[in-house]
Amino acid sequence: MKKRTSKSVNYFDIHSHLHSDFFNRKENGQIVAKEMKERGFFSTIIGVSFDDSQKAVDMAGKNKNLFCSIGIHPTEKEEFSESDFKQLLQAGGDKVVCIGECGLDYYWPMKDLESGKINQEELQREKKRQRELFKKQIDFALENDLPLMLHVRSFKNADAHEEAFKILDEKEKESGQKIRADFHFFTEGPEIVKEIVKRDFMISLPGVITFADLDDSILEIPLENLMLETDSPFVAPKPYRGKTNTPLYLEEIAKKVAEVKKMDIEEIRKKSVENALDFFRIEKW
């Protein structure tokens, strides 16, 4: 593989929602993007529905330091239209570097079951709907040779993770192709880290690691598989908790990883940037 230069990239937040309504209700994404540019911060902004993906494509097109991912989040009750997404992909050109966020979220449907909002039959139907939506996006990513931004959230005993691994394994077998994927917002234990690393997928750590004890997981993640994200505007890291999270806070997450791994922050910064550029196959900006 060709060696890329990460020289002008200071930090790369591989998962944020700067373009989204959530973000722009609180802050002006364009102003943040401008400050990021001045400080060498890059980000891949992530779509959660078709309309939201369209906004991500628009914003990435206007900012040198932003790339985007297009897809449908598992809790969005929306059909995946291959032709619509194909068009969007073409419109976005090489700014579209990923598919997702997609995957399985068994947390919210299980919560709904617990509170009596849905019954057992509806739960099974919802899980099936999510699996089908996920599979379509895996196929789409493989067809277009793009990596996947995975949102996998288990309720308990890694229920969604086990199912996601099963689906990914099956899809690799069926297609004969290697899937490239990142498990975004990773807050699971070291056992799940091993399952991900074994498959040579990536793991991105969020701000949560600055205030919850995930040290065992952090220690288990090889540098080769590590990326950093804010999931901005959600869940700001310490010492910014309660504030609107922005990609500019990514340094706090790098700091924490360096502290736990007993490494130099510069090494974590550099490697996480290189991994991001490799993962998204970004060669120029």
What CA–CA distances, in Å, run from 81 to 71, 75, 137, 209, 277? Answer: 10, 16, 10, 36, 28
Closer residue to Zn ion in complex, CB, 182/260: 182
CB of 246 to Zn ion, least distance (A): 14
Binding pattern to Zn ion, positions 73-112, x when CB under 5 A? ----------------------------------------
Closer residue to Zn ion in complex, CB, 231/278: 231
**Contact status, residue 243 vs residue 236, Cβ threshold 8 Å:** yes
Residues near Zn ion (CB under 5 A), total:
1
CB of 167 to Zn ion, least distance (A): 20
Closer residue to Zn ion in complex, CB, 180/184: 184
Order of strands across the sheet with 202-205? 11-16, 41-46, 66-70, 96-105, 148-153, 181-183, 202-205, 226-228
In the chain, the amino acid numbered 66 is L
CB of 18 to Zn ion, least distance (A): 11
What is the crossing angle of helices 265-279 and 250-261, to 10°? Answer: 120
Chain positions 217 to 246 lying near Zn ion, rule: CB under 5 A, are 231
Report the largest interatomic distance among the alpha carbons of the chain, rounded to a whole angstrom.
Answer: 54
Which two structure tokens, joined as six digits, stand for 114?
């617990």
Closer residue to Zn ion in complex, CB, 182/231: 231
Residue nearest to Zn ion (CB): 231
Closer residue to Zn ion in complex, CB, 105/252: 105
Closer residue to Zn ion in complex, CB, 98/260: 98
Closer residue to Zn ion in complex, CB, 220/231: 231
- Cα four-point dihedral sign 75, 237, 22, 33: negative
What is the crossing angle of helices 29-38 and 50-62, to 10°? Answer: 40
CB of 101 to Zn ion, least distance (A): 5
C-alpha distance across the termini of the chain, in Å: 19
Binding pattern to Zn ion, positions 174-213, x when CB under 5 A? ----------------------------------------
Chain positions 256 to 275 lying near Zn ion, rule: CB under 5 A, are none
Which two structure tokens, joined as six digits, stand for 142?
């493989």
CB of 60 to Zn ion, least distance (A): 15
- The pair phi, psi for residue 162, each rounded to 5°, is -60, -40
CB of 229 to Zn ion, least distance (A): 8
CB of 149 to Zn ion, least distance (A): 8
Give the footprint of Zn ion on this chain (CB under 5 A).
231
